[in-house]
Amino acid sequence: MAEDQPTQTAERKRREKNRTLEIGGVKVAPGESTSVDIPLAAMYTHSNVEMTVHVINGRRPGPCLFVCAAIHGDELNGVDVIRRLLSYKQLNQLRGTLIAIPVVNVHGFLSQSRYLPDGRDLNRSFPGSERGSLAGRVASTFVRDILKNCTHGVDLHTGARHRSNLPQIRADLSQEETRNLAMQFGVPVVLDAKLRDGSLREAASDMGIPLLLYEAGEALRFDELCIRAGARGIINVMRELKMLPARKRPTKIPEAVVADDSRWVRAPLSGVMRSRVQLGARVKKGAILGYIADPLGLNESPVKAPDEAIVIGMTNLPLVHEGEALYHLASFKRQTSQVASEVQGFHEHFNTQEEEPFFIGQDDSLEN
């Protein structure tokens, strides 16, 4: 019996060791951290274009989580979210593997464009094809080198140009694990969003990978609150997945509320708009969201809320055309006042902090 004990100990240690991961032809052993440059289609100037992937492979086994940003090349908040995430000091205690891709759509990022040079939306091109369009080839590369290695994912987005989104999670809540992670992320509003054809969420769903889509802020802008909330949210998800140790002193996570429905309020006519509400505002049915007038202000028409709701998205450009989307309103089965209170608490929490202490080397009070 005593002779079997060393053998059992060795077998237990072998089982507790993480796997070696291979991405882009580079092998990353347990306990190693490295950056991998995956070649994409070159520019027409023959300049090389590469998608940089940072891999942290923990010593002990666990989930493999990817976090990606800038699938739309002009959505910048997620780039800084990932920069801060990679500076998180407790990643040296990581279980499993973290794969971080700060810029997926490198071509669009270089030209500050949402799309690729072929005019296609990368997030409508999955799973892609090695012989397809430029967008299809980038999507295929991402599926081959990233998605097939992972068990979970977080995809970071912003609103379009001149349009801001309240920090929110969009996910397929019919899947129990996905729903649980969405509620733990730490933003007050969660949307049960249908899968869109050709999206990364659809490709991940087809492979059985729970994926959260984080929407926050505006294209081509850094928003400090959105960046802080995104970085903190990913840490919350990693703790929920047992990839990181729990906090000794739990902090209150904003209570997430699932929206019953959401809709865009569109401009009834063209003109110059003056908005009267802000992101996160609670509006009652019939409340005036803004006014649209001609440049001289001689004729002015109100834009009204069709139902009681929370403003989760809105245009920032005062020049609007008839039919243009102006306000994204989410309605809730719960009393809207309670949701508004959670939104206010969320803003106060992230606006009053000078900096996230666990990203700058201070004590985060974590258990080992």
Domain layout of the chain by residue ranges: 16-256, 261-331
Q: The domain 261-331: what is its CATH number?
A: 2.40.50.100
User: What is the predicted pLDDT for the residue at 3?
Assistant: 54
Mention every residue, 6+ apart, whose C-beta is less than 8 A from residue 166.
189, 216, 279, 280, 310, 311, 312, 313, 343
Arithmetic mean of pLDDT, 44-64: 97
Rg (the chain; Cα; Å): 22
* Architecture of the domain delimited by 16-256: 3-Layer(aba) Sandwich (3.40)
Which pLDDT score, from 0 to 100, does residue 337 have? 74
Interacting residues of 313 by C-beta distance below 8 A, sequence separation 6+: 159, 163, 164, 165, 166, 264, 279, 327, 328
Q: What is the pTM of this model?
A: 0.91
Q: What is the mean pLDDT of residues 23-30?
A: 96
- Residue 293's nearest CA partner among 312, 316, 273 is 273
Tell me the average pLDDT across 266-292: 96
The tens digit of pLDDT for each residue in 354-366 reads: 555 555 444 443 3
What is the pLDDT averaged over residues 280-292?
Answer: 96
Instruction: Give the pLDDT mean for 284-313.
Output: 94
What pLDDT does residue 8 have? 58
Q: What is the pLDDT of residue 179?
A: 97
Structure tokens at 265: 């309020």
170-215 pLDDT, tens digit each: 999 999 999 999 999 999 999 999 999 999 999 999 999 999 999 9
Peptide bond connecting 127 to the previous residue in cis, omega within 30 degrees of 0 = yes
Look-up of token digits 């609150």 = 225
Mean pLDDT of the chain: 91
Average pLDDT value for residue range 104-132? 97
